[in-house]
Structure 1
Amino acid sequence: MKNKNVTFLTQAAMIAAIYVVLTYVFAPFSFGEVQIRISEALTILPLFTPAAIPGLFVGCLVGNILGGAILPDIIFGSIATLIGAIGTYTLRQQKPVYGTLPPIIANIVIVPFVLRYGYGVALPIPFMMLTVGIGEVASCLVLGLVLYTALSRYRNTLFHPAV
């Protein structure tokens, strides 16, 4: 039991750290009304391990803080990632492409309102839903499925089966 908890915590921490690094390194296009957050490709990881759920949430939270986001963005952007991660985990028995949909949808619904009411972006919300959606499709669907394909070969060695 102890080994299972350590594995879970270690996986979550590593996923959070990678999310933060990717968000910070690619900060110039990780924020704003037109954004492609490369770190969102990691939202495919709940298909491999439930540890990705807290890992993605904490990673997004810390990434937003380090990226200079305002409080509503830190809170609601991180909640969008959490919702997406939980949704992806619940679809883990389906085709991997379905696992990309919850984070895309959560961010399309939540982030434009953060941009409008948190940052005062004057663009129409439906337009920001489109721009955020395009970025999420590029990150979660395209890059996420590339990551899924690469990691699938190592599922049993990278992600301990007991978790």
Structure 2
Amino acid sequence: MNKNIRRVTVAAMIAAVYFVLTMIFYLTSFQPLQSRLSEALTVLPYFTPVAIPGIFVGCIISNILGGNGIWDVVIGSLASLLAAYLTYKISYNKPKRKLLAPLPAVLVNAVFIGTMLSVLSDLPLFATMLSVGLGQVLACYVLGFPLMLLIERTKKLNELFKGIS
């Protein structure tokens, strides 16, 4: 298969999974005190930079349909893009930094999404940042980190990400 076609296909698959997970868990994905379980996928740039546009596009589509308006489409999607890029920069091809892979999504989203939700919902900043941060820990470390281990240990999943950088 052509390498570019494979990259686009994998990015599109990641975007689709992100979108579907966000919509399945809609009630927790778009509330002022939220936990977006689809954020578990933000660990995927540990394996390939192709995951970065996949996460970004999945987030944009989710936020367009999500109900928090243009602020979430812009700020939320850019926060996910930044988190995915930072995950790639600090952990890609660095097995000793595997435990750091979920961290950018936790920190970036706690700050940016927490601030946005505080302003939009007129809730205390600390409460929204803490809520989003805890939701990100759940998604990225409790779900995302085991996903990383599963991908590493599953031959077919590992092959999916190899050679598409």
**Bucket of the pairwise TM-score, normalised by the shorter protein:** over 0.9
RMSD: 1.4
**What is the distance in 1 between the residues matched to 2:98 and 2:17?**
21
Quick check: which one's helix share is greater? 2
1:95 correspondence with 2:97: yes
Counterpart residue type for residue 110 of structure 1 = F
Post-superposition offset of 1:156: 3.9
1:64 paired residue number: 63
1:129 paired residue number: 129
Q: Tell me, what secondary structure is at the counterpart of 1:142?
A: helix
1:148 paired residue number: 148
**What is the distance in 2 between the residues matched to 1:162 and 1:69?**
34
Structure 2: gaps (5+ residues): none
Structure 1 runs of 4+ with >4 Å offset:
none
Post-superposition offset of 1:5: 1.0
Post-superposition offset of 1:68: 2.0
Deviation readout 1:114-156 (Å, 9 max, x if unpaired): 1133x2x222111211111000000011100111111112354
1:115 paired residue number: 117
Structure 1: gaps (5+ residues): none
Mapped contact 1:19–1:42 kept (Cα < 8 A): yes
Mapped contact 1:7–1:160 kept (Cα < 8 A): no
Alignment length, in residue pairs? 160
**What is the distance in 2 between the residues matched to 1:123 and 1:151?**
38
